[in-house]
Structures are given as C-alpha cells and as structure tokens.
C-alpha cells in the first residue's frame, strides 16, 4: 500500500509539472515563474541530498550555484554561443571547485563544516564582485543571452519562447531528479542514511565515512551547479548575488520549509517560496519580513515541513 501511494504521488507530481505553464496562469502567474520554481527546486533538492539524506549542513552551496551560472554566461559571451556546451562548462566548473573544497573540509563536522562552507563561498563571491573586467562586478555580466538548441534535424527556440524553455528545463530537471532518486535507493544511498543516523556506528562497521560524505557533497554540488546554469539561462543575466551567502540560506529555508528528510519536500518548499516571494514582493518592499515570519511559524509548529503536514493529515 505504501509503495502504491508513493507511485500515485509521483504521478500526480509529474502531471502537475507537465501542466504547470497552463494552470499557473489561472492563478495569476506566468511561465517564467514556473521555470524559476524548477530551478530553485533542483537546487534545494540537491542541497537536501547532502543535508536531509547525509546529515551534513552546508551554508555555501550558493558558491557552486553561482559558479555554474557564471560558467554558462562566460562561455556564451566569451567562447562559444552554444547553450548545451555552456551548461556543461558551468557544471564542470562548479563540480571541480566542489571536489577540491570538499576534500579540504570533509573531516569537519557540525557548525565547523557549515561555517567553513560559508567562508569558501564568500571567497568566490568577492572574486566575482571585484573582477570587473571579466565578470562585470556588481553590475553583473550582460551582453549575452541563451541561444536556440540545434539538434541537427530541428531547432528548439528557447530564446523567444518561454514555454519551450520551461519544457527544456523540465526535461533536465527530470533527468537530474531521476539520477538522485536512483542513487538514494542504491547501496550508496543507504550508506548515506546510515551515516546520517549514526556516524559512529557506521564507522565501526567499516564504512569509509569521509569518502562517502565527500561523494555526497560532490554529487550535491554537481546538481546545484546545474541549477545555477539554468538560473543564468532563465534570466539571461548573472551577478555576484548568485554566490552570496543569503542565496545558500534560501536553499536551506526551501528544504526545511518543504520537508528536509523527504525527497519531494524541497520541491514543495520551492513552489511556496518562489510564489510567495513573487506575490508579496509585488505588494510591499518588506516581503522578506513576511517570508521570514512564515518560515519561523513552520519551523516552530511543523518541524517536518509542509510535506510533513500533508502526511499527517493523510494518516489521520
């Protein structure tokens, strides 16, 4: 019965995502908002791979999100006007940086790990902020835009067609989510859960804990870099704020808001966060106060997030 319920929930999620550009307009939304939900959902689900399923908190994931975004933007502007190649470069740049930094900090735990990730993230932020000639500095990198995808037999116009771009992002999102789900159901994923539940016991069983945490960090940052690349393509613009610590905070908030230890929780959190941000910010400049209050209330009264509330109601 539980497996059947999970499969039904998965089908409902994918049907809602497939139809989102159409039903979101009935709620006063627009297609680009749908794409932003997917991008933030991918970033938060990638963070949750490390936080929710491995038990390691990072406050520096914006660094790899921003590196992915700048990798895409700089490739299109300075190297080759190719969307797939630019996306690949963004992923590679963010993943290489994560591999090096992860190797340096993998022995740290708890607040020390979180603080060091913030420190490394701010290093990348100040580099992009100060390197005006290449990154555009605080003004951001302009003068480029996503280009149509040439498949040889056809071209997908993602430049002028927001709906086409949404479905391209949805296809990439589906592949990324499928890979994460496969990894979490594999022996590797079960080992990560064992480390999360009791690291000392996992080490006693002979599990190379540091290696698994490093791999989890690497995989998480790979998908965050992918989300950053899609973020740059969505906006046709990138600036240093994509690497700043508060962007990392947004990912953590989204994961906790939706349900940190559930697979689809961060996606639900992303939908709530992005839609609320868009709606409230159109009404007041103090929109961050309202979002902060909403987040505090969720944490205080529903620590398992919105998905935890839905599960509790379904069981009652």
Q: Is the pLDDT of residue 1 over 50?
A: no
3-state secondary structure of 303: coil
Mean pLDDT (whole number) for 98-123: 94
Tokens of 144: 């480029």
Q: How confident is the model at residue 123 (pLDDT cuts 50, 70, 90)?
A: very high
Residue 205, CB-side half-sphere exposure with 13 Å CA sphere = 10
Report all structural domains of the chain as residue ranges with CATH numbers, in order of start: 2-315 (1.10.3470)
What confidence score (pLDDT) does residue 60 get? Answer: 93
Which of 59-63, 153-157, 173-177 shows the lowest per-residue confidence on average (mean pLDDT)? 153-157
Mean pLDDT (whole number) for 121-131: 93
3-state secondary structure of 86: helix
Q: How far is CA 311 from the centre of its chain?
A: 24
Q: How confident is the model at residue 149 (pLDDT cuts 50, 70, 90)?
A: confident
Cβ-based neighbour number of residue 315 at 10 Å: 6
Residue that wins the pLDDT comparison between 96 and 159: 96
What confidence score (pLDDT) does residue 294 get? Answer: 80
d(CA 53, CA 265): 12
What confidence score (pLDDT) does residue 283 get? Answer: 82
**183 Cβ contact list (under 8 Å, min separation 6):** 49, 189, 219
Residue length of the chain:
316
By percentage, how much of the chain surpasses pLDDT 90? 70
> For residue 259, which phi and psi values (nearest 5 degrees)?
140, 100
Q: Is the dihedral of CA 85, 90, 95, 96 positive or negative?
A: positive
Q: Is the pLDDT of residue 63 over 80?
A: yes
Q: Is the pLDDT of residue 11 over 60?
A: yes
Residue that wins the pLDDT comparison between 5 and 81: 81
Q: How confident is the model at residue 313 (pLDDT cuts 50, 70, 90)?
A: low
Kindly report the average pLDDT of the chain as a whole number.
Answer: 90
């Amino acid at each position: 019965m539980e497996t059947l319920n999970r499969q039904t929930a998965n089908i409902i999620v994918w049907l809602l995502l497939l139809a989102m550009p159409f039903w979101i307009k009935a709620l006063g939304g627009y297609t680009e908002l749908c794409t932003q939900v997917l991008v933030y959902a991918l970033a938060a689900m990638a963070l949750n791979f490390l936080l929710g399923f491995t038990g390691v908190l990072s406050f520096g994931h914006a660094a790899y999100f921003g590196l992915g975004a700048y990798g895409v933007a700089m490739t299109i502007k300075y190297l080759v006007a190719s969307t797939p190649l630019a996306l690949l470069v963004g992923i590679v740049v963010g993943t290489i940086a994560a591999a090096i930094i992860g190797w340096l900090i993998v022995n740290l735990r708890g607040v020390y790990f979180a603080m060091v990730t913030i420190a490394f993230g701010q290093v990348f932020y100040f580099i992009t902020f100060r390197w005006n000639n290449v990154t555009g500095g605080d003004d951001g990198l302009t003068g480029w835009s996503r280009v149509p995808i040439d498949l040889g037999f056809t071209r997908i116009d993602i430049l002028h067609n927001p709906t086409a771009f949404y479905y391209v992002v949805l296809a990439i999102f589906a592949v990324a989510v499928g890979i994460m789900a496969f990894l979490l159901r594999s022996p590797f994923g079960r080992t990560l859960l064992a480390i999360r539940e009791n690291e000392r016991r996992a080490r006693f069983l002979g599990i190379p804990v540091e290696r698994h945490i490093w791999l989890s960090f690497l995989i998480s940052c790979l998908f965050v870099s992918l989300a950053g690349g899609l973020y740059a393509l969505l906006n046709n613009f990138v600036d240093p704020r994509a690497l700043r610590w508060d962007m990392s905070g947004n990912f953590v908030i989204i994961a906790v808001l939706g349900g940190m230890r559930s697979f689809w929780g961060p996606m639900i959190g992303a939908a709530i966060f992005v839609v609320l941000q868009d709606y409230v910010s159109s009404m007041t400049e103090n929109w961050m106060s309202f979002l902060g209050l909403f987040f505090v209330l969720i944490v205080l009264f529903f620590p398992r997030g919105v998905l935890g509330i839905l599960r509790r109601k379904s069981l009652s």
